[in-house]
């Protein structure tokens, strides 16, 4: 207790710095994944992708980031076991932020798309095992999170496969693909608007002071979906059929219609990512603030302060602007050749999976989800469409992430313990 009273302000300043650094890593590495499909399919440029991500990542983090944050903060370590030594939780959370941020910096420089969720969970488990003993880790919670790393790519891959097949059946196999695209694409736009609105309203806005019933949320989401569909229809009207001698079926025109849709799915994915992955940076930060402000009490269910979510959102934005372009290039073109229609199916599948997980408080990995969705879309075209070498490299970087986060966290934990203890 004395240590917390003596160094409380320093702990909060360090937590804010390391939390920002971790959020920077999320922006540099993970947001690039979220935008990779849009850039890879040439639906939007890198500059446009960064602009969309800056706005919607921040909104997602601020408006809908509270739910998952609580899972990260209270789910992995049993807080009761730390009541006697609350400063150990502070050292551990500082170490976890610094460790995960450092690993993301290395991965981003190499252009590896790794999981920020893996990084922070590995780091928290590493500190807990080294500093407090294996009994302090809630292995059931870690197991649930680990299961989500398998479930999320499978779920996203399945949704991506079904979506792409539906696009193929309804539009590309139609006698007049361009007319069919104009008829069915607004429905897909509605779907994007509805899914993101629904999860935001049902789960995300409680800490902003907006409490809605399920039916109110449903009605409002349908309305927002219709409004977004209306915007899509207006944008779609500008697209005129262009005759091309080499393009007998007019598929290039269809892809231009999907290019409009990709703008909406890029916004949805950025929002979904911000709401889910801001927790990786601000969960441990919120834990440190909570312990210091209560004078060493652990396990209080204090809400995450609004300014902490803003700090996390800002860090994500800075990371994307300064370093995001590296991983965007890897994801957008490496796994399979993307067109706007394929990119749409992958991104909507990933966004749906992420917002569902964000709503249930399950900290899944956006990276795994998106790669799973791209694989699903690739498989819909046959195994030959996939670049297995790139997929192998990505899988390797995923496997290294957990132990790397844990190892660095152990190192930093003992460093902080030596400095303050």
Closest CA to 68 of 25, 20, 120, 105: 120
Q: Rounded to 5, what percent of the chain is helix, strand, coil? A: 85, 0, 15
How many Å apart are CA 109 and CA 326, to the nearest integer? 8
Residue corresponding to tokens 């030596």 = 418
How many Å apart are CA 313 and CA 318, to the nearest integer? 9
pLDDT of residue 64: 67
Q: Taking the mean position of all CA atoms in its chain, how far away is CA 296?
A: 31
Residue 172's region, left for phi above 0, alpha for psi from -120 to 50, else beta, is alpha
Q: Per-10-residue mean pLDDT for the chain, 421 residues long?
A: 81 93 89 76 81 83 64 63 80 93 90 82 88 82 77 89 91 86 88 77 57 80 92 83 67 80 79 75 83 73 71 86 76 71 85 73 76 86 75 80 91 91 72
pLDDT of residue 120: 87
Please check whether residue 116 is in contact with residue 26, taking contact to mean a CB–CB distance below 8 angstroms: yes
pLDDT of residue 26: 87
pLDDT of residue 18: 95
- Boundaries of every domain in the chain: 2-420
Whole-structure pTM value: 0.80
Does an H or E element contain 43, and which?
Answer: none
Backbone angles phi, psi at 137, to 5 degrees: -85, 130
Q: For the residues of 115-183, what is the DSSP string, one character each?
A: -HHHHHHHHHHHHHHHHH-GGGB-HHHHHHHHHHHHHHHHHHHHHHHHHHHHHIIIIITSSSHHHHHHH
Closest CA to 94 of 16, 1, 15: 15
DSSP structural state of residue 44 = S
């Amino acid at each position: 207790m004395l240590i917390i009273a003596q160094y409380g302000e320093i702990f909060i300043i360090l937590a804010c710095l390391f939390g920002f650094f971790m959020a920077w890593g999320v922006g540099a590495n993970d947001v690039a994944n979220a935008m990779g499909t849009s850039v890879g399919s040439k639906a939007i440029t890198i500059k446009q992708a960064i602009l969309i991500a800056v706005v919607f990542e921040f909104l997602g983090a601020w408006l809908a980031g509270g739910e998952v944050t609580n899972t990260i903060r209270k789910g992995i370590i049993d807080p009761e076991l730390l009541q006697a030594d609350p400063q150990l939780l502070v050292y551990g959370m500082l170490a976890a932020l610094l460790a995960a941020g450092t690993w993301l910096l290395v991965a981003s420089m190499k252009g590896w798309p790794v999981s920020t969720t893996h990084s922070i969970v590995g780091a928290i488990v590493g500190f807990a095992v080294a500093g407090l003993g294996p009994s302090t880790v809630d292995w059931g919670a870690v197991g649930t999170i680990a299961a989500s790393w398998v479930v999320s790519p499978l779920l996203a891959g399945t949704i991506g496969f079904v979506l792409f097949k539906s696009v193929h059946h309804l539009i590309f196999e139609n006698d007049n693909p361009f007319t069919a695209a104009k008829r069915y694409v607004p429905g897909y736009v509605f779907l994007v608007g509805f899914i993101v609105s629904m999860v935001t309203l049902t789960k995300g806005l409680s800490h902003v002071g907006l409490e809605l019933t399920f039916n109110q949320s449903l009605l409002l989401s349908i309305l927002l979906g219709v409004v977004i569909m209306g915007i899509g229809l207006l944008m779609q009207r500008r697209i005129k059929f262009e005759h091309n001698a080499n393009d007998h079926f007019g598929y290039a025109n269809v892809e231009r219609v999907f290019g409009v849709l990709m703008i909406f799915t890029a916004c949805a994915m950025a929002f979904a990512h911000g709401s889910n992955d801001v927790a990786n940076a601000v969960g441990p930060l919120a834990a440190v603030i909570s312990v210091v402000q209560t004078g060493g009490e652990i396990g209080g269910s204090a809400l995450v302060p609004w300014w902490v979510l803003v700090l996390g959102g800002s860090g994500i934005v800075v990371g994307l602007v300064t370093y995001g372009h590296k991983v965007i290039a890897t994801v957008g073109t490496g796994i399979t050749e993307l067109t706007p229609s394929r990119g749409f199916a992958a991104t909507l599948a990933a966004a749906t999976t992420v917002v569902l997980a964000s709503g249930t408080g399950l900290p899944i990995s956006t990276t795994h989800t998106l790669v799973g969705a791209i694989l699903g879309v690739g498989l819909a075209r046959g195994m030959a469409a996939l670049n297995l070498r790139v997929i192998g490299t990505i899988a390797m970087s995923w496997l290294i992430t957990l132990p790397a986060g844990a190892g660095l966290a152990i190192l930093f934990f003992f460093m902080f313990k030596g400095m303050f203890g």
